[in-house]
Structure 1
Amino acid sequence: MEMSKQLSEQQVELIKSSVPVLAEHGLTITKRFYADLFEAHPELLNLFNHANQKQDKQQQALANTLYAAAANIENLEELLPVVKQIAHKHRSLQVKPEHYPIVGEHLLEAIKKVLGSSATNELLDAWANAYDIIADVFISVEAELYKDTSESSWEGFRRFIVQRKEQETKEVVSLYLVPEDGKSLPTFEPGQYVTVKGYSQSDHYTHLRQYSLSDKPNQSYYRLSIKREETKDVQGTVSWYMHGLAEGAVVELTAPAGEFTPENGEGDLVLMSAGIGITPLTSIAKSALATQPNRAVTFVHFTANRNSYALRSEMEELASAYQSLRYEVYDRDSDSSEMTVDHLINENEQQFYICGPISFVQQMEKKLQELGVSQKQVHFEVFTPLIPV
């Protein structure tokens, strides 16, 4: 990371000394921070995922980020991959440079409130400088993303019309979206997502959610395949809103974002999904085979049962059309044996892309690691705040 500001040796030591404190009190600090932030700036609730706030997921993610920053204060480059992933999320949610001073002010105040007399002026000054350095990195990375968007796509939210609506399963619907203004539709990288703006009758805030684009690029539409949550509470607000849209309705989207995107190459692709995690991997598989029909692609999907398997017919058609595609489905209701990955490993150059619930991603990462697959070969996407550890 290029840093225009530097910490003194004393400040570095103070930050490092706060690692145990953050391990013990990090979540308390971030809970205090978000409560104070939203009390002072309720308009920011339009940018945040209310469900993640209610379930403490965002608070835990920020607590772990603070811990990781303190632990790596002398080598923040170690956090750059996570910074880039979070920056894509921020760009998609329209986080702007003017938001960072507001966050910094309330974060330092939360540290002071929770730690009390332990939060000396020297420690707070050290964290203020450290925050400024990290914020500058985010602002710089996000500026490049906004620049790319303005040149090839659009800024802010753009209005789309639901051209077609298809019920994939009882819980999953696919929406085919086209620009309301009739202008060209920019392409995207397979594996990327968009942010949609949803609304609720229970409050006056907008609710933003990110959904993966589930079809290959260079179509006349964007497709979102969305799983409806079980209940229409804060967790299910946007999914129920999207399921309720009729053909001809208008929905607002930000431009595609995300780094869960494979590069063209000769190496084997191994795609591993569970549940609705199939959406970005369907886009990746269809795009890879369309552009490189002889490239070896393995697609492994884990589903609760065949009836809940969204995009099943598409994957079956893809497997029939391409001999280079190896396709496997594990059905929890009928497969008594544990899903194994040993047979997926070969001597070729392989890249693994995993998407699904956190527990599934962690399980697959662990299995691959035990089989000697290097960390740089494994890429993942989870539909929840990133939690660096």
Structure 2
Amino acid sequence: MTVASASIINNYFESKPLTPEHIQIIIDSVPILEHLDVQLTEKFYKRLLKQNPEFKPFFNETHQKLLRQPRIMIHFLIQYAKNIQDLTPMIDFIKKIASKHVGLQVKPEHYPKLGQVLINVIINLFPKQLVHDEFIEAWTLAYQNLANLLIKLESEQYVEKPWYGFKQFKVTRLQRECSDVKSLYITPVDGSPIPKPKRGQYLCMRWLLPGEKHEITREYSISEYPKNNEYRITVRYIPGGKVSNYIHNNINVGDIVYSGPPCGDCVYESSSKNLVFLAGGNGVTALLPMIEAGLTEGRQVKLLYSNRSTDSRSFGKLFQSYKLQYGDRFQVVEFLSRGRTIDPIDKFYRRSLTLEDLDFIVPEDDVYLIGPRTYMKMIEDYLKDRNITVKLDYFGPREI
């Protein structure tokens, strides 16, 4: 894997505006896209990966099997078609996709193959009487214009990154955090100084595991603000999880791993507001550097921390040390759904978190949320209904 430089790209494809006729064709496609739903995008991904196996590292098998990726893509296509005349209502959505692409190290040269497969799938699934030369031209131009926008947004981010591609790192330390969680400390093989990430960012890492034909990509939060020129990632063992099994059972100090630069938009923001952190299981890893910053800045910090038991709880000793150091400015409420409770950090309940536990949160609070998808969706929806802004990252296709 080589590390290259990047530059801003304004128009990768020839820029050509859509005609009024083209625009009408795209708008008229919306009801059919809605009818086809994930059938279209599921077929797209299957055909893409069959015809272009080199794309497999970009996609998580679980997200494909559970149709998370196809669902978010068909939602995106429908919104794009509806807003084809003015993309302003969905520009934030587009920017989030561009940021995800930067983390995965998607390159401009990937877009022609993606477009070719997408247009062919649209041609195959749309009613034959609608698929004529102008229809194909309209969708081809619409795709190329969207690709140009994404490539430009991505290239603007790439030029700000300390490297482009996946860089060699060496494992310097391994540390057990609890019964099923392990931390890895990594440093650049070339000895170069690591850039300081924003608190809350993650590393996108590529793994070529024994017996696998293709590399596997995983995103891991940087779980400690860097010290000693090392990044730390913290990984929970998942039965059947290819990479987590390898990390827990096979990786050793001195091994070489590959990582992209720090990425992610769900980052800590300094202010005088009270901080509320909602952590489900290993989601706490993304929040650790933020909790440290909030306490250091003198803010009031409250952590609602959900785990199965104290046996599977990471960083309990660290939080206990914060409690001793910062007293009432740091409050922890643990929700332990099953198993024994030994050495709680602060206040705790032997049950799962409920929505009523969130009623103390007010719109003036800074709220950060990371955890399992169902946990996050439940909390996000509840707080949004109360006009409370939540900063979060689903680490994969966003729930819709």
Q: TM-score, normalised by structure 2?
A: 0.87
Q: Which residue of 1 aligns with 2:294?
A: 288
CA deviations 1:156-184 (Å, max 9, x no partner) are 11111211111112221111112222221
1:202 corresponds, among 201, 211, 219, to 211
Residue 335 (1) aligns with residue 340 (2)? no
Per-residue CA deviation, residues 264-285 of structure 1 (Å, 9 max, x unaligned), is 2222222111111111011211
The counterpart of 1:182, out of the listed 187, 191, 199, is 191
The amino acid across from 1:368 in the alignment is: L
> 2:247 corresponds to which residue?
242
**Structure 1 residues 106, 337: closer, same or farther in 2, change over 3 A?**
closer
Say whether 1:325 aligns with 2:334: no
Contact 1:199 1:241 in 2 (8 A): no
Distance 1:72 1:325, change over 3 A: farther
Aligned-partner Cα distance in 2 for 1:361–1:342 = 13
Deviation track 1:335-378 (CA, whole Å, cap 9, x = no partner) reads 2673534443247x3221111122111111122123332xxx22
State the match for 1:306 in structure 2: 310
**Alignment correspondent of 1:259:** 265
| Structure 1 residue matching 2:108: 3-state secondary structure | coil
Structure 2 residue matching 1:383: 3-state secondary structure: coil
What SS does the aligned partner of 1:98 have?
A: helix
Q: Which amino acid aligns with 1:207?
A: I
Q: Do the aligned partners of residues 11 and 223 (structure 1) sit closer, same or farther apart at CA in structure 2, a change above 3 Å counting?
A: same
Aligned with 2:136 (options 124, 136, 153): 124
- 1:217 deviates by 4.1
RMSD (Å) for aligned C-alpha atoms? 2.2
State the match for 2:345 in structure 1.
none
1:352: which partner in 2? 367
SS of the residue corresponding to residue 277 of structure 1 reads: helix
How many angstroms apart in 2 are the aligned matches of 1:345 and 1:200?
A: 44
1:70 to 81, 104, 110: 81
8 Å CA contact 2:226–2:232 kept in 1: the answer is no
1:158 equivalent among 149, 167, 174: 167
| Aligned residues of 1:163 and 1:247 also touching (Cα < 8 A) | yes
- Aligned CA distance change for structure 1 residues 271 and 5 (closer, same or farther; 3 Å): farther
The alpha carbon displacement at 1:110 in A equals 0.5
2:378 is paired with a residue of what secondary structure?
A: helix
Counterpart Cα distance in 1 of 2:237 and 2:126: 41
The verdict on how the C-alpha distance between 1:295 and 1:26 changes in structure 2, with shifts beyond 3 A counting, is: same
Q: Which amino acid aligns with 2:87?
A: L
What's the offset of the Cα at 1:194?
0.6
Residue-by-residue CA offset, 1:282-322 (whole Å, 9 max, x unaligned): 121113323x1x12222211212221112222222223322
Aligned partners of 2:354 and 2:361: how far apart in 1?
A: 17
User: Partner of 1:210: helix, strand, or coil?
Assistant: strand
- Structure 2 residue matching 1:322: 3-state secondary structure: helix
Aligned to 1:372: 387
Residue of structure 1 equivalent to 2:63: 52
Contact between 2:199 and 2:225, CA under 8 Å: does it hold in 1? yes
Q: Is the CA contact 1:86–1:386 (under 8 Å) kept in the aligned structure 2?
A: no
The match for 1:109 is: 120
The aligned amino acid for 1:137 is L
In 2 relative to 1, CA 241–199 (structure 1 residues): closer, same or farther, beyond 3 Å?
farther
Q: TM-score, with normalisation over the residues of structure 1?
A: 0.89
Report the CA distance shift for 1:344/1:222 in structure 2 as closer, same or farther (over 3 A).
farther
Aligned counterparts of 1:337 and 1:167: Cα–Cα separation in 2: 26
Shift of 1:202: 3.3
Q: Deviations over 1:58-102 (max 9, x none)?
A: 222222221222233333222222222222221122111111111
Q: Following the alignment from structure 1 to structure 2, what is the Cα–Cα distance between the partners of residues 84 and 217?
A: 27
CA contact (8 A) 2:335 2:353 kept: no
* Secondary structure class of the residue paired with 1:340: helix
**Paired residues of 1:260 and 1:380 also in contact (CA < 8 A):** yes
Counterpart secondary structure, 2:164:
coil
Give secondary structure in 2 for the equivalent of 1:367. helix
Structure 1 partner of 2:93: 82
Report the equivalent of 2:393.
Answer: 381
Alignment of 1:264-279 (within 5 A): 264-279=270-285
How has the CA–CA distance of structure 1 residues 41 and 188 changed in structure 2, closer, same or farther, with 3 Å as cutoff? same
Where do 5+ consecutive residues of structure 2 fail to align?
A: 1-9, 339-349
Matches of 1:94 and 1:85 in 2, distance apart?
14
Q: Does the Cα contact within 8 Å between 1:28 and 1:114 map onto a contact in 2?
A: no
CA distance in 1 between partners of 2:70 and 2:362 (Å) = 40
| Structure 1 gap segments, 5+ residues each | none
Alignment CA distance shift 1:130-1:345 (3 Å): same
Which amino acid in the other structure matches residue 261 of structure 1?
Answer: V
- Which residue of structure 2 lines up, in the alignment, with residue 211 of structure 1? 220
Amino acid at match of 1:138: L
**CA 6–352 in structure 1, closer or farther in 2 if over 3 Å, else same:** farther
The answer to whether the Cα contact below 8 Å between 2:335 and 2:352 also exists between their aligned partners in 1 is no
| Contact 2:169–2:189 (8 Å) recurs in 1 | yes
The 1:313/1:85 distance shift into structure 2, 3 A limit, reads farther
Residue equivalent to 2:347: none
